[in-house]
Homo-oligomer: A and B are copies of this chain.
Amino acid sequence: MQRTDVNTLGEFGLIKHLTEKHPLKNKSSKYGIGDDAAVIDNGRMQTVVSTDMLVEGIHFDVSYTPLKHLGYKAVVVNLSDIYAMNARPKQITVSIALSNRYSVEALEELYAGIYAACDFYKVDLIGGDTTSSPKGLIISVTAIGQADKDKIVYRNGAKVGDLVCISGNLGAAYLGLQILEREKQVFLADPNMKPDITNKPYLIERILKPEARFDIIQAFAKAGVVPTSMIDISDGLASELFHICTQSEVGVFLEESGVSIHPEAEEQAIDFKMDPITCALSGGEDYELLFTIDPKDVDKIKYLPDIYIAGEITPQADGIKLHTKGGNIHPIKAQGWNHFENK
């Protein structure tokens, strides 16, 4: 029998390969695989469903991730997918498999974080499964949200001439992770060394306790704006731009000057001898929103806090381009995190 390594297809290629020949059968299945979340039709209101699996040693390292933070983040990353559909999360289910290394007290910490996120984002934990695993901790969260039928925003609605917008700043979570990894290596080499993670508190918070941008979704509703396309930035801006462009069949012209980078991130990138814009484009786990709006709506969003207009949608043939601060134009490569690669 033939044996093809899953790495050869990558995560998105693999999902496509496994699922593309199966059309949806039920009338209520409005949208399936291929966006931040699936959409189920319940009449005027629609139900939006998103699911993510976090695996110890792949997505998180408990040596520097407090379990309370991990529980919080496991919820937030799913809520972020619901917001990215311009919907409101209402319920979550949480399934956990854990090895006998974990005690009841450890689980209490994890659930304290899960419930802290539930309280902050006003969602209910309504179900789940708890079982044992031969190795490590696995967390699978499914988030369920609601949206008006005509307010749901997909990845495939960007039109030529639309403005490309980004909430918040990018690259900080990636740089926070690099600091944690560095301090872990220092600690492993000499357990008497005390890890130094105090002088970049913003970067550490961005990786360990990210927030989902419900405030942006609220601002859209208040301003009467519905973006033409939207996606949350979990794998890095470049990867998300490719999703929008592929599904909307368009190109993009991105201004480096439009991509907000936090001063701590800028400083840390230089310290690590990395280009800050590369961290913003290829780092992941920012959980900011990338969206496009019709130019007629520009007055409604341009004074909203923490939204940056960073470019324009172009014809597909023009490709996906970055206009650097130095005045050069480069093609952007999709370099999302690939969880099948050995890291």
Residues of A whose CB lies within 8 Å of any CB of B are 1-9, 11, 14-15, 17-19, 22, 24-26, 28-29, 31-33, 37-38, 40, 42-43, 45, 47, 49-53, 55-59, 90-91, 93, 95-98, 100, 102-105, 107-108, 111, 115, 118, 122-136, 138, 140, 142, 144, 146, 339-340, 342
Known pairs A31-B126, A51-B142 / 8 extra A-B pairs, C-beta < 8 Å = A11-B131, A26-B124, A38-B126, A40-B47, A42-B45, A49-B91, A51-B127, A135-B136
Question: Nearest Cβ in chain B — how far from A155, in angstroms?
Answer: 14
- Which B residue sits closest to A110, measured CB to CB? B18
Question: Nearest Cβ in chain B — how far from A98, in angstroms?
Answer: 7
Given A3-B103, A49-B91, A104-B4, A22–B131 Cβ distance below 8 Å? no
Given A104-B6, A134-B135, A26–B339 Cβ distance below 8 Å? no
A132 near B58 (CB under 8 angstroms)? yes
The residues of B that contact A33 with a CB separation of less than 8 Å are 125-128
Q: How far is the CA of A49 from the CA of B22 in the complex (A)?
A: 22
- Which B residue sits closest to A138, measured CB to CB? B138
Given A90-B28, A138-B133, A6–B100 Cβ distance below 8 Å? yes
Q: Pull 26 A–B residue pairs with CB atoms less than 8 Å apart, ordered by A.
A: A4-B103, A4-B105, A5-B100, A14-B107, A19-B111, A22-B125, A24-B124, A24-B126, A26-B90, A31-B126, A33-B125, A33-B127, A38-B126, A40-B126, A42-B45, A42-B47, A49-B93, A49-B126, A50-B127, A51-B93, A51-B128, A52-B129, A55-B132, A97-B138, A134-B136, A140-B140
The residues of B that contact A22 with a CB separation of less than 8 Å are 115, 118, 125
Pick from A42, A142, A144 the residue with the most CB of B within 10 Å.
A142
- As for how many copies of this chain the complex holds, the number is 2
A134's partner among B18, B58, B146 (CB-CB below 8 A) is B58
Q: How far is the CA of A324 from the CA of B95 in the complex (A)?
A: 39
B29 near A90 (CB under 8 angstroms)? yes
Interface of A is mostly: mixed
Q: How far is the CA of A5 from the CA of B47 in the complex (A)?
A: 38
Q: How far is the CA of A304 from the CA of B142 in the complex (A)?
A: 37
Question: Nearest Cβ in chain B — how far from A26, in angstroms?
Answer: 5
Q: How far is the CA of A305 from the CA of B115 in the complex (A)?
A: 46
A339's partner among B15, B31, B132 (CB-CB below 8 A) is B132
B52 near A17 (CB under 8 angstroms)? no
Q: How far is the CA of A129 from the CA of B98 in the complex (A)?
A: 19
The residues of B that contact A130 with a CB separation of less than 8 Å are 11, 14-15, 18
A131's partner among B28, B53, B132 (CB-CB below 8 A) is B53
A103's partner among B5, B15, B26 (CB-CB below 8 A) is B5
Given A3-B105, A18-B108, A105-B2, A29–B126 Cβ distance below 8 Å? yes
